[in-house]
Every structure is written in structure tokens, then in C-alpha cells.
Structure 1
């Protein structure tokens, strides 16, 4: 590999993906970002992880320094890209895959397709396959004079969620939900679910009780993710909104550190 923190451009079959690695040791921790986020958003966290094991983070297709790919895309495409990237770079497994938001479904699907490569998962305020339908069910009946914030939320859930062209990476979220429904068990894989502790929205901008109801639904979905494996730890980042990596990065680093210790003990690494 090149000098630490210098992006390496890796050909995964006619396209280049930019990857960084730092630290030594096993298991290797691979960071998967949220929708539209280049790998650099996790630079600081990756450097902390590198104190106790190897950290790998990268730019998905069309982000940062990586080449674009044909669209629309699904978590199947993203998992395949990551698989080829890790193979081409020769970065050793087993892997602890840590995925934030959209990255949660990506790492879940990766484990479904390549189970022998994955030692553990960290799901960081991860998206859930049913979140669109459950959030839509909480909205009040549509009215011709509804407030702008509510109208924008309804538009995002009713139309933009279904349209891959409405997000930065041209991700097909409806197809992703169907794919995730094939990943309903993680067997006895070690998993840590890290969930936000405070609302991602300002409740004063929406009808009374709506944000609270949506947060309750989100907490329920996070608990459902924690039940995908009997070997799950559920950690609440009490001072964080959705961007836990900015609000409480130390919570993520500690969750990963504890998982690395657990995997080393179980696998005798």
C-alpha cells in the first residue's frame, strides 16, 4: 500500500475507487458512509481506530476521488464494489464492517453475500427497510394549505424516496428495501447497534407530536435491528442526532474498539 492517509486509486474493473488505510492488526475495520458522504467524513474516527487495529475507509462511486458508475444503484452494487476493492487491495480479513445510515444496509447486505469475510457488524443509526412506510403512516392527512416543512417531508417520503434521481448517489431506495428483506437474520454474528439519543428534527417546525412519534418509530426500528442477532449490544449516543460521527465520535470509536477485542478473543487472532 501507499503511504498512510494517501488515497490509493484501485481499479475494480474499469472504474477507480479511492481508498485509504491506516494502522496495523486484525480484524480490519472497514467504514461505510451514509448517503452522499465521501470517506473523508470519517477521517478523524479512522485515525483513532488505527491506534488499535487496521482501519479502511473509501469513497463510493461518484464521490470524492472515485469514478462514477452507471445508475441507478442499489446496496447490491455498493456491496459488490466494496468486495472487489478489498480483494484488489489485498487488505486482509476478517472484517468488522461499520456502516452509518445508508451504510448500515450496505454492510448487512455485504454479510449476506460474503458471510465468510465478516467477523462482526457495527450499525450506526442505520437505515431500516421499513422506515419510509412507517414514517408515512404517521403523517397527518394531506391538506392544500399544509406548512412548508411538512409538505417537504411528505414529498421526500412519497416521491423523492422512490426516485433514484432525487439523491446524490442515484440510489434506488425502494429496491434496497426489498433487498434488505432477504437479510432478516445475522445468525449469531456479533453486532453492535449505535443509535442516536435525540431527534434529528426541530419539533417546532412540524405539527404537534409528529417529531416525537417519528423518533419513537425510529427507536423501535433500531431495536429491531438489535434483534437480528442474539449477540447484539445496543448503545445509545445520548447527546447525538443522526450524525453521531460529529456529535459523539468517541461513542463510535469505543464501540468499534470493544468489538475488535471481542472478535480477537472469539477468533483467537
Structure 2
């Protein structure tokens, strides 16, 4: 009898421990007024880690990292408008639009701050806007390879890469048109995704970059910028020079906060959360611990 009691107590402790790590899972489409967005949160605790992804990616691409971070606090990912389970949203898809939608999403989903922001690539631009517009609910940010503003705005440094990106955007636009006119239901269902990608890409080289460029500084907000060290081979002869330029711009971004830090993931490509997940999690958890 006593042995059975100890077994039951052990199972109860294990169950409580698991619940503490997993917390209440939020996996829903939330109405934000103009459309609905899908959000996925796991874990318990505060501050809440909120993750925004790169162009063409969904929150699911962070699942492994999200699950491990959820052992320490609540972690939320979401799908931007036009992606996966989220509805098509208002155009154009620039960073202020997306940051504003994320703020409403968190409020309507009952996910209270403060927030530790994590943004990869385009998500890094969006999170800079979020931090500048809503500083009262932001305790810090970790940005992974946010694209260099000087190049996004003018393209003067590497015009051949600028033209390559413009060509890719035109290809996306044609794909969106073809999908919307297709008689194949499966292909037609991709139209909203292609439209979102097209608008995000166009605004990345325009309004989104200009919006972020107007941010003077982040004062003393804890800020970590993690840059990739491995050149992108698809950039051809410009790959190494562009990578050095990108690193230089990332260092300058970290300097926009008196509490800023730049970290170079030397062996990583652009998808740092996949190539160097331990480094990313260490930076996030370190900031989290400092805030507690």
C-alpha cells in the first residue's frame, strides 16, 4: 500500500512538472478586426518570448527552439497574414502594418506582456518597429540577421544583388497572378500566400526599410544582434563582400542601444536558428534571466 502511494506521488510530481513546462497551449486563429491570425503559444511564465520569422517562413519553423525555450517561460509564434492558417490581410504588407497587427493579436489572444522580442530577417525589422512603437511592454530584443537598411533603401552598395532581389519579387508577383487565375483549387489556394510574399518583398526594399531607418535609438533597451558569418553562395562573386557589409551593418544596429551586443555566428548561414540553435537559445535565455 505504501509502495503504491509513493508511486502515485511520484507520478503526480512528474505530471505537475510536465504541466509547468508545457503550460496552457494556445493554438488558435484570433480575430484582430480586419482578419484573423494564427498564434501558437506554449510554456508558462513571464516575460513572454514573442517570435517573428523571415519571409516565406511560418512559426512552425521555430518549433524545436520554441519547445526548448518553453521550459523556462511562455513562448509564442504566429503566422503573418496570408501564411498557413492566417487570413489574407490589408495591403501593403510593410513593417508598421505587421507590427501593429501583432500587437492587436497578442492583446486579443490574452497574451499579456512584458515581451522579449525575437525576430529573424524580415521579422527582425518588424520587431524593431514593435519595440519603438510599444516600448512600455518590451523588455528587450534578440534579432537574427536583420537585413541591412542601407542596402535595402538604395541598393547602391551591391546593385547586382538588388536587381536579383527585385527579379525574385517580380517572379513572386507573376506566381500570385497565375495562382489566383488557376482552375486548380490547390494552386488557387496558394494565391494569398504569394500575394503576401510579393507585398512583403516589395515593402522590404521600400517602406519597411524606411520606417525602421527613422528609429533613432533604442536607448538602454537590452538588445542582442546575432549575425551570420557564412556567405550565401547564391550571391555569386559578391557573396563574401556582401557578408562583410552585412556584419558591419549588424554591428551598427547593436550600437543603437547602450545595452546592445553583437554576436557573430561564424559557421552559420542566414537561418541562424537552424544552423546554431544553441547560440540563439543561449542569447535569449541569458537576456531572460537578466530581466528576472
Count of residue pairs brought into register by the alignment: 247
1:132 CA drift (Å): 3.1
Structure 1 residues 71 and 14, CA, compared in 2 at 3 Å: closer, same or farther? closer
Q: CA RMSD, aligned part only?
A: 2.4
224, 231, 243: which is aligned to 1:215?
Answer: 243
What secondary structure is seen at the aligned counterpart in 2 of 1:7? Answer: strand
8 Å Cα contact 2:121-2:147 kept in structure 1: yes
Deviations 1:207-227 (A, max 9, x none): 3xx222111111111111111
1:246 aligned onto 2:278: no
Mapped to 1, the partners of 2:128 and 2:162 lie a distance apart of 28
Q: Which residue does 2:98 correspond to in 1?
A: 78
Structure 1 residues 94 and 162, CA, compared in 2 at 3 Å: closer, same or farther? farther
Listed as ranges, the matches of 1:224-243 within 5 Å are 224-243=252-271
Mapped to 2, the partners of 1:185 and 1:233 lie a distance apart of 14
1:196 aligned onto 2:228: yes
Structure 1 residues 6 and 86, CA, compared in 2 at 3 Å: closer, same or farther? closer
Deviations 1:142-169 (A, max 9, x none): xxxxxxxx6xx45334565699948725
**Unaligned 5+ residue runs, structure 2?**
1-22, 175-193
1:184 CA drift (Å): 2.4
Q: Which residue does 2:8 correspond to in 1?
A: none
8 Å Cα contact 2:229-2:243 kept in structure 1: no
35, 42, 54: which is aligned to 1:22?
Answer: 42
Mapped to 2, the partners of 1:260 and 1:24 lie a distance apart of 13
1:7 CA drift (Å): 2.1
- TM-score, structure 1 normalization: 0.84
Q: Which residue does 2:164 correspond to in 1?
A: 156
Mapped to 2, the partners of 1:80 and 1:156 lie a distance apart of 30
Structure 1 residues 154 and 14, CA, compared in 2 at 3 Å: closer, same or farther? closer
1:128 CA drift (Å): 2.6
What secondary structure is seen at the aligned counterpart in 1 of 2:100? Answer: helix
Q: Which residue does 1:145 correspond to in 2?
A: none
Mapped to 2, the partners of 1:128 and 1:108 lie a distance apart of 13
Listed as ranges, the matches of 1:93-132 within 5 Å are 93-132=113-152
8 Å Cα contact 1:135-1:214 kept in structure 2: no
8 Å Cα contact 2:52-2:123 kept in structure 1: yes
Mapped to 1, the partners of 2:117 and 2:227 lie a distance apart of 16
8 Å Cα contact 1:104-1:124 kept in structure 2: yes
Deviations 1:216-246 (A, max 9, x none): 1111111111111010122221221001111
Mapped to 1, the partners of 2:266 and 2:157 lie a distance apart of 27
What secondary structure is seen at the aligned counterpart in 2 of 1:37? Answer: coil
1:176 aligned onto 2:208: yes
- TM-score, structure 2 normalization: 0.78
Deviations 1:99-146 (A, max 9, x none): 00001110110111111010001111112321235754345xxxxxxx
